[in-house]
């Protein structure tokens, strides 16, 4: 079989898959001969940042497309405090699409944790499918995002008591696993109880595409705003405007949000390491999240955010925040 024909077959398989393609099938194809191995390598590279494709689990930790947002759906199950992330394959809000990640909320004393997994049915921190977690303070206003893989070479895992090593088949078995801090999300207090939506600030470590390929940053390509750490993106929610006729706060979600909710938000970057000089475009929405049904929400993200980081940020919006509303 010609490598070109093999590539076309794999691309069609990817387009038809509503779940992850079996890794063993890809490896089997790559083992046939050198030409097939090279073809498989190019197909895997085609799912890199900028392509907008999510073919393999490793893509969940890579930045999304730059020119257009990836559209996703989050389904909530209140009965067991579980959230499911799907990549939208059609414009419909009712079609689940391709399953990507799942998260379950656990209470540890006064703190809340969200365990994030590749397996919708196995949501424990000791699972092979565990990919990271989200932890909150006792007020539910400050969150820390942890990844099982280091955001850059030389990163040290968290020293918290819950941090430990895990045997993993999830992203890259050659990379040491642990709980590495990759982001923080903070909701500002509303001490005066003034009318208005929540205000949030996010600082997340977003590796550039070069780092994913070479495991290090080229300093000449990674010039960012003064005072910011390499690869650090700082995002703030866009302030809505008050609509006198409707008597509510409004943001333009371009038809992707249909239900008014305090959970709805749009984030833009003040610091973006993927842009020249690291300066973000505060008018360009990098992540938007909003309600379209009782337990259905949309999540649209783009570079420099990865699906994993975007999902973790959106999870912070669930739950009551009396100090912020």
| Domain architecture of the chain: domains with CATH | 3-47 (no CATH), 70-151+174-207+229-317 (3.20.90.10)
Q: DSSP per residue over 21-32, as a string?
A: PPHHHHHHHHTS
Cβ atoms 179, 163 nearer than 8 A: yes
Q: What is the pLDDT of residues 231-285, one digit of tens each?
A: 788 999 888 787 777 667 788 888 899 888 888 899 998 877 766 666 777 788 9
Q: Are 293 and 303 in contact (CB under 8 A)?
A: no
pLDDT band at 93 (very low <50, low <70, confident <90, very high): confident
Mean pLDDT of 173-196: 70
pTM for the model stands at 0.77
312 with 75: CB under 8 angstroms?
A: no
The pLDDT mean for the chain works out to 76
Measuring CA to CA, which residue among 274, 288, 236 is closest to residue 66?
274
More confident residue, 36 or 313: 313
Does the pLDDT of residue 135 top 70, yes or no?
yes
Model pLDDT, residue 18: 55
pLDDT for 222: 40
3-state DSSP call for residue 121? coil
Label residue 278 left, alpha or beta by phi (over 0 means left) and psi (-120 to 50 means alpha).
Answer: left
User: Does the pLDDT at position 102 exceed 80?
Assistant: yes
Ramachandran area for residue 52 (φ above 0: left; ψ -120 to 50: alpha; else beta): left
Q: Please tell me the distance from the alpha carbon of residue 99 to that of residue 83, in angstroms, as a whole number.
A: 11
- 151 pLDDT above the threshold of 70: yes
Cβ pair 11, 40 in contact under 8 A = no
* pLDDT value of residue 85: 95
pLDDT of residue 168: 45
Across residues 288-304, what is the average pLDDT? Answer: 93
Q: What is the C-alpha separation between 130 and 294, in angstroms, rounded?
A: 28
Distance CA 187, CA 136 (A): 11
Alpha-carbon dihedral of residues 94, 96, 97, 100, nearest 10 degrees?
Answer: 150
- Residues with Cβ within 8 Å of 270's Cβ and at least 6 positions away in sequence, in order, are 234, 235, 236, 280, 282
Question: Is 80 exceeded by the pLDDT of residue 295?
Answer: yes
Lookup result for tokens 């505060």: 282
pLDDT, tens only, 195-246: 556 788 999 987 655 444 444 334 433 443 444 455 788 999 888 787 777 6
Is pLDDT at 83 greater than 50 in this prediction? Answer: yes
d(CA 270, CA 223): 15
Q: Which residue has the higher pLDDT, 302 or 89?
A: 302
């Amino acid at each position: 079989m010609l490598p070109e024909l093999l590539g076309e077959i794999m691309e069609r398989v990817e387009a038809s898959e509503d779940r992850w393609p079996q890794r063993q099938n890809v490896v089997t194809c790559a083992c046939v001969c050198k030409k097939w191995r090279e073809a498989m390598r190019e197909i895997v590279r085609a799912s890199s940042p900028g392509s907008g494709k999510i073919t393999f689990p490793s893509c969940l930790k890579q930045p999304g497309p730059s020119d257009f947002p990836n559209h996703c759906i989050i389904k909530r199950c209140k009965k067991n405090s579980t959230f499911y992330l799907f990549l939208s394959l059609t414009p419909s809000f009712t079609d689940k699409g391709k399953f990507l990640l799942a998260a379950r909320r656990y209470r540890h004393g006064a703190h809340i944790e969200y365990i994030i997994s590749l397996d919708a049915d196995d949501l424990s921190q000791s699972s092979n499918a565990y990919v990271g977690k989200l932890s909150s303070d006792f007020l539910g206003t400050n969150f820390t995002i942890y990844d099982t893989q280091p955001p850059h070479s030389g990163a040290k895992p968290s020293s918290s008591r819950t941090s430990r090593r895990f045997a993993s088949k999830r992203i890259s078995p050659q990379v040491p696993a642990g709980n590495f801090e990759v982001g923080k999300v903070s909701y500002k207090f509303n001490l005066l109880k003034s009318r208005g939506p929540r205000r949030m600030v996010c600082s997340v470590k977003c590796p550039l595409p070069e780092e994913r390929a070479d495991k290090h940053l080229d300093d000449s390509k990674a010039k960012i705003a003064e005072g910011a750490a390499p690869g650090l993106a700082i995002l703030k929610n866009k302030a809505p405007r008050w609509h006198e006729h409707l008597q509510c706060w409004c943001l333009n979600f371009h038809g992707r949000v249909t239900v008014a909710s305090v959970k709805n938000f749009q984030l833009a970057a003040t610091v973006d390491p993927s842009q020249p000089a690291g300066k973000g475009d505060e008018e360009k929405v990098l992540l938007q999240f909003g309600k379209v049904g009782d337990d259905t929400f949309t999540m649209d993200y783009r570079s420099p955010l990865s699906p994993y980081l975007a999902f973790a940020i959106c999870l912070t919006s669930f739950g009551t925040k009396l100090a912020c509303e």
